[in-house]
Amino acid sequence: MGDMANSSIEFHPKPQQQREAPHAGGFGCTLAELRSLMELRGAEALQKVQEAYGDVSGLCRRLKTSPTEGLADNANDLEKRRQIYGQNFIPPKQPKTFLQLVWEALQDVTLIILEVAAIVSLGLSFYAPPGEESEACGNVSAGAEDEGEAEAGWIEGAAILLSVICVVLVTAFNDWSKEKQFRGLQSRIEQEQKFTVIRNGQLLQVPVAALVVGDIAQVKYGDLLPADGVLIQGNDLKIDESSLTGESDHVRKSADKDPMLLSGTHVMEGSGRMVVTAVGVNSQTGIIFTLLGAGGEEEEKKDKKGKQQDGAMESSQTKAKKQDGAVAMEMQPLKSAEGGEMEEREKKKASVPKKEKSVLQGKLTKLAVQIGKAGLVMSAITVIILVLYFVIETFVVKGKVWQAECTPVYVQYFVKFFIIGVTVLVVAVPEGLPLAVTISLAYSVKKMMKDNNLVRHLDACETMGNATAICSDKTGTLTTNRMTVVQSYLGDTHYKEIPAPSALTPKILDLLVHAISINSAYTSKILPPEKEGALPRQVGNKTECALLGFVLDLKRDFQPVRERIPEDKLYKVYTFNSVRKSMSTVICMPDGGFRLFSKGASEILLKKCTNILNSNGELRSFRPRDRDDMVKKIIEPMACDGLRTICIAYRDFSAAQEPDWENENEVVGDLTCIAIVGIEDPVRPEVPEAIRKCQRAGITVRMVTGDNINTARAIAAKCGIIQPGEDFLCLEGKEFNRRIRNEKGEIEQERLDKVWPKLRVLARSSPTDKHTLVKGIIDSTTGEQRQVVAVTGDGTNDGPALKKADVGFAMGIAGTDVAKEASDIILTDDNFTSIVKAVMWGRNVYDSISKFLQFQLTVNVVAVIVAFTGACITQDSPLKAVQMLWVNLIMDTFASLALATEPPTDSLLLRKPYGRDKPLISRTMMKNILGHAVYQLTIIFTLLFVGELFFDIDSGRNAPLHSPPSEHYTIIFNTFVMMQLFNEINARKIHGERNVFHGIFGNPIFCTIVLGTFAIQIVIVQFGGKPFSCSPLSTEQWLWCLFVGVGELVWGQVIATIPTSQLKCLKEAGHGPGKDEMTDEELAEGEEEIDHAERELRRGQILWFRGLNRIQTQPPASTVATSSQPPAGSTSPCSARAPPAPPSTPSPV
């Protein structure tokens, strides 16, 4: 990767060398010329093109390409262009190396404390005090066999270090594989992005990375431009350049005014052709990338190493590049914030207000802080009690005097106490939590790929489990997006099927064929089927394909018409957009006049018609009264059959009366209607069942479409979104706006709250309506829960709604690049049923984490209490530091693997969503945690205090320092682990189900881990010896340990019998942070939150740093850790300090 960063610098050598090199390549433009050309805008750029090349076709000649035919698809030529002008590839930032990740994992505070303790313990164990006095220093150890044992004092320290290394390696490996997965996902998204170019006169879809300078690329509505270029010919082209300039207004581009198209900008309207002039690191986006990425890295390297082998050369290059960058910066009015954004652009534009912390993250962070605090308190108390007990026992009761030579011995005792304290803390803090979240999410994301969900942001997958509302598009998501014309109204006759060509007057037929063939994007066409007997392939806009199909059904062909009037002969094109809801094209007639063809939504276009063609193909006037008749008799019946109605019209202008073409309202008016067609887009057969599942799962499905209200209502009824007899609303965009806006035209949340709960269909809606609806539902405070909204979108204009939603789904097939860029999940098959799968996986993630928590917290409660009481009563924790770490490893790392990979079941869709305020640990789970803790503690304390009598062995209590491991304590350790293993099986169910074995063999990972842990436990007990403080056990003792372990399963049944509703005293834990409970630092943190993708990769560490920082910086009065939320009216002390949230952003939940 490093050399790639360097190569990106070597792409632009010093000007003198450049001059010679490219001319040797035989092209008439150098890289430097093209780069400087692309830095100009508007009139300047146009002037430069004219001065240097004459016009754009002159530039094409210099680049040895044809504006109409494109490049010859010749591998050598393409390779040569790549060598001279660079590849269309921006080297990504280097991933972190494994060692860097290990170093990051070592930053964990608890691990650092342990390392320090272990090193101190090691150091002291090597210091042997003079022998005679040692007796006077207290009972170090007694007995003859101690000579060897005293030497073995180093083992404990070494073992702790070893287990720390294990934990660190596991964490680092996890992060590493996660980053690798994420990069794989990233590159898959990038590979899927293709772009249309013309080579050898053929339209080809090539991967974006294969574009070369000199390629002729087709740009159309919704594209994200992959390279810089100069426009050759454009129709009504408007570009959103905000990603480069920060200006939100769309820039109008045309070959004669502003022909410069820049990479990374979005096509918002229109279409055109451009010649590619700069790719990869030489494009405008690439220059900024190099300034950020490679430039920064070079500087860093030099700072660190000071002297690199080729330092001098490199720094001169870097300087050159920096100056180069400075030019780029000057010519680009870059906002400071944009710097970072460009870097993240591949992942996601960061320019939007960041989404709130995902539901789960909020709850987990809070829970982690609570547990961390409890653990700190417990460990501190443990250490204090141990130290006091020892000091009083030694110096007060036995009346010894502190002697200088005894100091190391006493310090050794204190270190031992410190290690016990730290161990309590380590066990109390569930480090496995971030691990479980990560594993669960990563596993789900991998599996969701198979279910046609390409997840771009990991937490979207879990948010989806909480979704309460889905706002879906109609076309392509609920329907098959294979459109066909099934009814038509031509020459005063309503045809219920395709008319015979002979039934139509030649004039009407001819006008219709021309109107459809010319007035549709030339990229839309119908190709012969791939297989025998299959349907013809529709390429391009599906509505236009339906109309072209209609032409073919009338036994005519659209191709000859297009060949006669190629795209560059079109005089003026008004492309389709969501405001016009129509498209019009003007052509020149042989007599010098003009003809305008128009097509669009029938009720909109009919208002502009003043004439209609009768059965003989002659004009007859078309008055408002006729229009109302037509709507009632033709359009509404078609719409009620679920058809989309399109009107096709034309208008002639004589040579004398050429209008002002910019005044669109005047041009597209006074039309003559040729035909009305009804287009059918059948509902996908699997959708009604999927919608039923959603409704059962407590998710409201709403349809938001640009279609006619009758069509929308008919389709909604077919899908089951609306059912007869229900109280629902179907509104058109206009009516919706009238209801939610006040007299001043401002949107009022109270008005919106009256509309959205019953709204099921929003028809004839504009993208702003969609955004308004989504924002209104999210900001609403009427229900007891804040709504979690998922939105589907495919068009460029859906971007804002996709960004605003909690989860945005973009269509993988029909979706534009802009929509994909704004989304969280891409549906690779455009199918609504995949959304239901996403809900299932999301709920599964949530449940997996609850299962893990239920298991983990039982272990924590028991281990902490045992270590604490044991230490206070017997001066020594029954579970040694190394054993605790092993317990921690199986309970955290392995259990998170085992429980986080449970596959989802259909039963997940039978319950309502949890919602944002529902705590992570429900009453039932609390009952399970405490119930199992009671059982385990009873057993362990029984063994601790009367175990030696039961098994008839020596007591392990009050053993001196460095004494050999006792069977007594080994039995306690072994029993403890056995109980955890069987409780892991109990933890598979969190809703109080009886059969905990249900589906256990469906999860091979779980079975492997449980059996594996069991096998390792046998090895540790039988052969662990001194490092694990274990002494081998007999078969009988093993059977007793197992028997007690199996008792866990029986006890689980007993707990399941107790009705949770009776246990009012149980508190729930892990609520989402309340509205008033955000501290200053959290709000600040929220504002500068990094991109989701990056954040995901480090979420584990962040969670803990955040938790520990918070523990250190929290004022004692703060209520952040209270598990129950303050009542609605009250505010917690934090809210006094928290700045009020600006009204436009949703309140932080």
Provide the token pair at 901: 């990979």
* Count of beta carbons in the 10 Å neighbourhood of residue 665: 7
For the residues 373-400, what does the mean pLDDT come to? 83
1139 pLDDT exceeds 50? Answer: no
- Burial annotation 1015-1043 (CB, 10 A radius, 16+ → b, else e): ebbeebbeebbbbbbbbebeeebbebbbe
Give the torsion sign (CA, 1123, 1129, 1130, 1135): positive
Residue 355: pLDDT over 60: no
Q: Does residue 755 contact residue 728 with C-beta atoms inside 8 Å?
A: no
Q: What is the predicted pLDDT for the residue at 1076?
A: 40
CA atoms within 13 A on the CB side of 102: 7
Give the separation between CA 315 and CA 311, rounded to whole angstroms: 6
Give the tokens for residue 679. Answer: 């287009």
pLDDT at site 890? 66
Question: Which residues, in sequence order, are CB contacts of 684 under 8 Å at separation 6+?
Answer: 478, 479, 480, 831, 832, 833
What is the model's pLDDT at position 1082?
Answer: 38
Task: Kindly list the catalytic residues.
Answer: 473
Phi first, then psi: give them for residue 915, nearest 5 degrees.
Answer: 85, 170
Distance CA 241, CA 250 (A): 7
- Residue 902 CB: number of other CB atoms within 10 A? 21
Which are the contacts of 234, defined by CB distance < 8 A and separation ≥ 6?
219, 253, 254, 255, 270, 271, 272, 273
Q: Residue written as tokens 């842990």?
A: 1013
Q: Using pLDDT thresholds of 50, 70 and 90, give the confidence band for residue 962.
A: low
| Greater pLDDT, 1131 or 232 | 232
**CA neighbor of 1012 nearest in space, from 984, 1039, 1031, 989:** 984
The pLDDT, as a whole number, for residue 107 is 78
What three-state secondary structure class fits 250?
Answer: strand
pLDDT value at 699 more than 80: yes
Q: How far apart are CA 108 and CA 659, in angstroms?
A: 73
Summarised one tens digit per residue, pLDDT across range 130-149 is 544 455 565 544 433 344 44
* Side-chain-side CA neighbours of residue 1068 (13 Å): 17
pLDDT score at 610: 92
pLDDT: which is higher, 36 or 1090:
36
Q: Supply the mean pLDDT for the chain.
A: 76
* Eight-state DSSP code of residue 998: T
- pLDDT given at position 156: 64
Residue showing tokens 């093209």: 34
pLDDT digits (tens, 9 = 90+) for 21-66: 445 467 778 888 888 888 888 788 888 888 888 888 888 888 888 8
Determine the Cα–Cα distance for residues 457 and 824; give it in Å rounded to an integer: 5
Q: What are the counts of helices (DSSP H) followed by strands (DSSP E) for the chain? A: 43, 26
What are the backbone dihedrals phi and psi of residue 705, each rounded to the nearest 5 degrees, phi first? -140, 160
Q: In what order do the strands lie in the sheet with 807-811?
A: 453-455, 825-827, 807-811, 789-793, 469-472, 700-704, 759-763, 729-732
pLDDT, greater one: 189 or 135: 189
The number of angstroms, rounded, from the C-alpha of 725 to the middle of its chain's C-alpha atoms is 39
> Taking 90 as the threshold, does the pLDDT of residue 598 lie above it?
yes
Residue 912: other Cβ atoms inside 10 A: 12
| Confidence grade of residue 92 (pLDDT, cut at 50, 70, 90) | confident
Residue 224 pLDDT more than 90? no
Cβ neighbours for 69, distance < 8 A, ≥ 6 positions apart: 198, 200, 201, 216
Task: Give kind and range of the element (H or E) at residue 1040.
Answer: helix 1035-1057
User: What does the pLDDT read at residue 751?
Assistant: 87
User: Residue 445: pLDDT above 60?
Assistant: yes
The pLDDT of 140-169, averaged and rounded, is 60
φ/ψ of 46, rounded to 5, equals: -60, -45
The pLDDT value given to residue 676 = 93
Distances (CA, A) of 92 to 190, 490, 934, 1040, 1093: 12, 57, 53, 58, 14
Query: Angle at the Cα of 465 (from 459 to 467), degrees rounded to 5?
Result: 100
Q: Which of 1149, 1145, 1138 is nearest to 352 (CA)?
A: 1145
Give yes or no for residue 383 having a pLDDT over 90: no
Residue 402: pLDDT band with limits 50, 70, 90: confident
Q: What percent of the chain clears pLDDT 70, i.e. is strictly above it?
A: 77
Residue 935 clears pLDDT 90, i.e. is over it: yes
**Which one-letter amino acid corresponds to residue 51?**
E
Residue 867 main-chain phi, psi, to 5 deg = -60, -40
